[in-house]
């Protein structure tokens, strides 16, 4: 059973460009979460999605950031007009839809975004 897959692992963008980060959850998992880790800082929750629905986006910056989890395909975290402060590691996690899951989240290896 493959784990959470994120790609690309490393992404370099110039200021003003768009960054698209992809996350394929573990098989059978219908809940996806995105987290950001700024250099030398802790992990911060950004957004929680189920298929075709955003459940909680309380951690998302108000501008330039968006996320989706379509019926088919991976979840996408999109950052428009990137700035240097967006340079960070972005982690995706997934969880199955069952009470037995007890809030356990399984994380991918992350995408390291560098903005030049």
Partner 1 sequence: DAKTTQPPSMDCAEGRAANLPCNHSTISGNEYVYWYRQIHSQGPQYIIHGLKNNETNEMASLIITEDRKSSTLILPHATLRDTAVYYCIVRSPMSSGGGADGLTFGKGTHLIIQP
Q: Of 52, 47, 81, 78, which is closest to residue 65 (Cα–Cα)? A: 78
Beta carbons of 106 and 4 less than 8 angstroms apart: yes
Instruction: Tell whether residue 99 is a contact of partner 1 (CB under 8 A).
Output: yes
User: Pattern 65-94, binding to partner 1, x per CB under 8 A?
Assistant: --------------------------x-x-
Taking the least distance from each CB to partner 1, the nearer of 15 and 97 is 97
Considering only residues 17, 30, 66, 87, which one is a binding residue for partner 1 as defined by CB under 8 A?
A: 30
- Outline where DSSP puts E strands in 9-86: 10-13, 19-24, 29-37, 43-50, 53-56, 65-68, 75-79
Residues that bind partner 1 (CB under 8 A): 4, 30-31, 33, 35, 42-48, 50, 55-56, 58-59, 91, 93, 95, 97, 99, 101-110
């Amino acid at each position: 059973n493959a784990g959470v897959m994120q790609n690309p692992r490393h992404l370099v963008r110039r200021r003003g460009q768009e960054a698209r980060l992809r996350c394929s959850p573990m098989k059978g998992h219908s809940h996806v979460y995105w987290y950001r880790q700024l250099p030398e800082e802790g992990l911060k929750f950004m957004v929680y999605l189920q298929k075709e629905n955003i459940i909680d986006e309380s951690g998302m910056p108000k501008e330039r950031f968006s996320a989706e989890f379509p019926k088919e395909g991976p979840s996408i975290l999109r950052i428009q007009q990137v700035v240097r402060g967006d340079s960070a590691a972005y982690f995706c996690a997934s969880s199955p839809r069952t009470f037995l899951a007890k809030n356990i989240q399984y994380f991918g290896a992350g995408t390291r975004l560098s903005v030049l």
